[in-house]
Amino acid sequence: MDGITPAHLILVLVIALLVLGPGKLPEAGAALGKSLREFRDAMSGTERTPPPTPPTSLPPSPPASPEPPQAS
């Protein structure tokens, strides 16, 4: 046995596609990559800070109040 061959890799990817479906496969890949990155960082003793996430929406602005009448 010489390790993982391209045929083995294709077989694993086809099985993952059948089990997870095309919609969930990218999410599973991203989760696996994130887990491996965190494991590697934990083993090396470094810590990454996640990039800041932009706000998804702005908070609603308060309603404009009418100005009180001025005395003359």
The domain spans of the chain are 22-46
Q: What is the pLDDT of residues 13-64, one digit of tens each?
A: 899 999 999 899 889 989 999 999 999 988 887 766 777 777 677 667 777 7
pTM, two decimals, is 0.48
Confidence of residue 71 (pLDDT cuts 50, 70, 90): low
pLDDT of residue 2: 74
Give residue 70's pLDDT: 72
Q: What is the pLDDT of residue 44?
A: 86
Q: What is the 3 state secondary structure string of the chain? A: CCCCCHHHHHHHHHHHHHHHCCCCHHHHHHHHHHHHHHHHHHHHCCCCCCCCCCCCCCCCCCCCCCCCCCCC
